[in-house]
Structure 1
Amino acid sequence: MSAWHARMAAGCALVLALAACTSDDKPDASGNKRPVEAGDTYVALGDSYTSAPGVGAPTGPAGCLQTDGNYPHLLAAALDLELTDASCGGAKTENMTTRQQAGGDSVRPQLDAVTKTTDLVTLSIGANNGEVYGSLVITCAQLAVGNPTGAPCSDLAQQNPDVLPKIFDEVGASIVEIVGEILERAPKARVVVVGYPQIIPATGTCPELPLGAGDYPFGRGVIEQFVEAQRDAAAEAGAEYVDVWTATEGHDICGEEPWIAGVRPTRNATAYHPYAEEQQAVADLVEETVSGPGA
């Protein structure tokens, strides 16, 4: 063998060795797409639309308002998964990496539940950023008392038109970062971002959602912007996305068969939060997604 051939052989050997080392050290992207199997470990991250207050028996820290009727518990039971439910009512994107004060409980960052052995992570977060959801269903309803036929909440938002778009952008960027952090901690986890449902009707009004008549389109648009931020962030981060918005059409607070409770829930739930039907629908959607190979 000539000296040139020897150098080439040595170089090829070095490249192959480096490739082998790299293959061992990098997360196996294909591992993120395999179907979820019985016995897999599952971590649920999210806010009250994941914890589902009032829907079932309480679980987890009292301040987080988790119940065993929420979609993580339903999904875990259906697929025989080992569930760690880290969801917490009132959670913001920041509480994935920082502690949350929930009632009398100081709750650990939700991402602490994700480890290298985690096989599945669901994430639904964002609407509490900037206190937006609470302001929408509480403050806007209070404003409507003095202006029931107008759009007092929309009028107030228009006084500072840059605030909401900034929050939507921040939510999207945060979800991209959170998915990246999940995969750093659990390189072979399958990550699914779960969107919010339709909460406010496309047309009409109802006593169960006492907004000013002109604020219904505004409120619906706010929730839809959060959903778009979740969907777009999932695509950017390479996570899967479960579209709850489409599946809940006609089941908003004012629907004939509402899956979201109004100001006075008619069955087990908390005001302005999901009923059991919505949580079952979400569990079914996620089950359908993770039972097959990822896209």
Structure 2
Amino acid sequence: MRRFRLTAYVTSFLFATAAALTGASAAQATENAAPTGYVALGDSYSSGVGAGSYDSGSGSCKRSTKAYPALWAAAHSPASFNFTACSGARTGDVLSGQLGPLGSGTGLVSLSIGGNDAGFADVMTTCVLQSESTCINRVNTARAYVTSTLPANLDKVYDAISAKAPAAHVVVLGYPRFYKIGGSCLAGLSENERKAINSAADLLNTTTAKRAADHGFSFGDVTTTFSGHEICSGSAWLHSVNWTNIGESYHPTAAGHSGGYLPVFTSAA
């Protein structure tokens, strides 16, 4: 009788211990497996320059409530939302000033970067103000940079993101082509210049996509969603030269973020 009671007691104790350990392990696993914070990094194409409705607290970074990160966060209510993307940012700026919110609780990261490293603003200024040959030479200089130097800079950013937020799903967003070839524009750049600029955007996207894939990140290609909405399309989601607010030139409008970037990011996220 005593042996039976002892056996029953030991058995009950073992079951209780196992249940307690299993419960604790499950709770810990649930806690560790549920990083749901969202951090939006990157340059002006992520901060929302060109979309208007800027957060006054973001200063020269010009973070917009109509930018795709803010739109996604409003629709999906992540556990936390940190928006550090900034106008003019290069890869070094992301490394030095944007990664602070990343951590073990970060489940999602978005990023667009590389255009400023390649000299995006200077390319467009050169092409608008100077000759066709000067424009194409400047585009070719940017292409050489994208091929030779940018990949290593992207690797540094991607490595840093993985180190600080190892559980995060990272979505790298690309850039749209600027021009519809054979479109409605009757003045401005030549078709040769427009083709060269579009081709450079394609190179930037393929280079970025390759580096993202090699780091296990997703790449969001927005060229398809912007197709039919380029400059010279008659229904542009990109600003052309804006002489009253030059910084918005060649950036997505609010419609470009909601109709061009947001669906791609939502699908990849």
**Short-chain TM bin:** 0.7 to 0.9
Give the 5 Å matches for 1:125-144: 125-130=113-118, 132-144=119-131
* Count of matched residue positions in the alignment of Structure 1 and Structure 2: 236
> Greater Rg, structure 1 or structure 2?
2
**Structure 1: distance between partners of 2:161 and 2:199:** 29
Aligned match of 2:134:
152
Question: Of 40, 44, 47, which residue of structure 1 is paired with 2:43?
Answer: 47
Structure 1 contact 196–245 (Cα < 8 Å) conserved: yes
Please say if 1:122 is aligned against 2:110.
yes
Question: Of 46, 66, 74, which residue of structure 2 is paired with 1:77?
Answer: 74
Match of 1:62, as an amino acid?
A: G
Aligned match of 1:283:
262
Which ranges of 4 or more aligned residues in structure 1 deviate by more than 4 Å?
Answer: none
Give secondary structure in 2 for the equivalent of 1:255: coil
Flag the 1:204–1:136 CA change in 2: closer, same or farther, 3 A: farther
Structure 2 contact 71–262 (Cα < 8 Å) conserved: yes
Aligned match of 1:274:
252
Please say if 1:262 is aligned against 2:244.
no
Match of 2:90, as an amino acid?
A: K
Match of 1:118, as an amino acid?
A: T
| Identical aligned residues as a percent | 29
Aligned match of 1:11:
none
Unpaired runs of 5+ residues, structure 1, are: 1-27, 99-108, 145-149, 291-295
Unpaired runs of 5+ residues, structure 2, are: 1-28
Flag the 1:53–1:85 CA change in 2: closer, same or farther, 3 A: same
**Structure 2: distance between partners of 1:175 and 1:111:** 14
> How many Å apart are 1:40 and its aligned residue?
2.5
**Structure 2: distance between partners of 1:173 and 1:280:** 31
**Structure 2: distance between partners of 1:164 and 1:232:** 16
> How many Å apart are 1:204 and its aligned residue?
4.5
Flag the 1:63–1:241 CA change in 2: closer, same or farther, 3 A: same
Please say if 1:64 is aligned against 2:44.
no
Aligned match of 2:143:
164
Match of 2:117, as an amino acid?
A: N
Structure 1 contact 205–216 (Cα < 8 Å) conserved: no
Structure 1 contact 206–254 (Cα < 8 Å) conserved: yes
Question: Of 83, 86, 94, which residue of structure 1 is paired with 2:84?
Answer: 86
Structure showing the higher helix proportion among its residues: 2
Aligned match of 1:196:
175
> How many Å apart are 1:260 and its aligned residue?
0.5
TM-score (norm 2): 0.78
Give secondary structure in 2 for the equivalent of 1:97: helix
Match of 2:169, as an amino acid?
A: R
Give secondary structure in 1 for the equivalent of 2:185: coil
Structure 2 contact 181–191 (Cα < 8 Å) conserved: no
